[in-house]
């Protein structure tokens, strides 16, 4: 029996939680720059009854993105996409954050949008960080949303002189993700498909643990301690939202970003986390 195909990038805890939640009975192509990460997650899932093919891919490379799409298409039309790939402010320099999180996501949404099956849907993972940055101008938002992917990194707003540090680069990348989803969902809609974004707050994953142990560790620990929820979130809680967005229950939802941060952003603007 032919299976629906699900393309997943980033072999991390959030990607795995979403894939486990909605990937049963599907052919899952799991890409990661570190093939050992992909192999590890694929082994865990395959031994639990899923059908996962690990694939080495680099989100910062259009050629690599096209390669994983071609691999997925060997098994049929791509009906689902989950983009959980990315690097954090403590893991990479400014240039890498912009190339992976910003440019790479833009290319992935564009290329998958060219082939997504009718009735298909996609979710990309951004971050609450994009919400804490001061508002951009309408023109800057438009540029992030619609500039051809190959020209994105040439935008004035993304030049080194205008980026303070890796956190600022990360915030810009995640703001771009959200605007890009809005623009690309229009194109996905022409194929009868939907595209949305999830902006998680502090979710306990290996990436988050790197942040806890990094130069901004105390800031993040204080953030989840003083947010309304009083704790960090879990990957399964992100999967709860993804499950809704990738089901027929959200047939009227596309181009949206869902903030899931335990109220940390609200507390940052209007509560005890105000700077």
Long-range contacts from 66-72, C-beta under 8 angstroms, 24+ separation: 66/111, 68/7, 68/9, 68/29, 68/31, 69/7, 69/111, 69/112, 69/115, 71/29, 72/5, 72/7, 72/27, 72/29
8 Å CB contact between 246 and 80: yes
Distance CA 208, CA 152 (A): 27
Going from the C-alpha of 196 to that of each of 14, 123, 130, the distances in angstroms are: 16, 5, 15
Buried b (16+ CB within 10 A) or exposed e, 50-66: bbbbbbbbbbbbbebbe
Q: Which residues are catalytic?
A: 170, 174
CA 228 to chain CA mean position, Å: 24
Short-list 118, 125, 126, 122, CA closest to 246: 122
Identify whether the C-beta of residue 59 lies closer than 8 Å to the C-beta of residue 177. no
**Separation CA 234–CA 212 (nearest Å):** 15
């Amino acid at each position: 029996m032919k299976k629906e195909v699900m393309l997943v990038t980033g072999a991390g805890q959030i990607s795995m939680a979403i894939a486990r939640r909605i990937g049963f009975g599907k052919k899952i192509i799991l890409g990661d720059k570190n093939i050992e990460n992909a192999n590890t997650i694929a082994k865990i899932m395959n031994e639990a009854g899923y059908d996962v093919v690990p694939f080495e891919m680099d989100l910062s490379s259009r050629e690599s993105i096209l390669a994983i799409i071609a691999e997925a298409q060997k098994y049929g039309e791509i009906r689902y996409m989950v983009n959980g790939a990315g690097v954090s402010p403590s893991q990479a320099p400014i240039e890498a954050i912009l190339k992976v999180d910003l440019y790479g996501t833009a290319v992935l949404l564009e290329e998958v949008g060219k082939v997504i099956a009718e009735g298909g849907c996609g979710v990309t993972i951004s971050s609450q960080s994009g919400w804490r940055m001061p508002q951009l101008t309408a023109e800057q938002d438009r540029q992030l949303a619609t500039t051809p992917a190959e020209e994105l990194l040439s935008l004035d707003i993304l030049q080194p002189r205008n980026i303070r540090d890796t956190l600022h680069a990360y915030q810009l990348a995640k703001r771009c993700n959200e605007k890009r989803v809005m623009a690309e969902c229009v194109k996905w809609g022409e194929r009868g498909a939907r595209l949305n974004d999830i902006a998680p707050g502090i979710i306990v994953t290996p990436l988050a643990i790197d942040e806890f142990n990094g130069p901004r560790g105390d800031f993040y620990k204080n953030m989840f301690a003083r947010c309304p929820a009083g704790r960090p979130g879990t990957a399964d809680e992100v999967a709860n939202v993804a499950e809704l967005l990738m089901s027929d229950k959200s047939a009227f939802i596309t181009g949206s970003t869902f903030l899931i941060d335990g109220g940390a952003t609200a507390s940052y603007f209007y509560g005890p986390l105000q700077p």
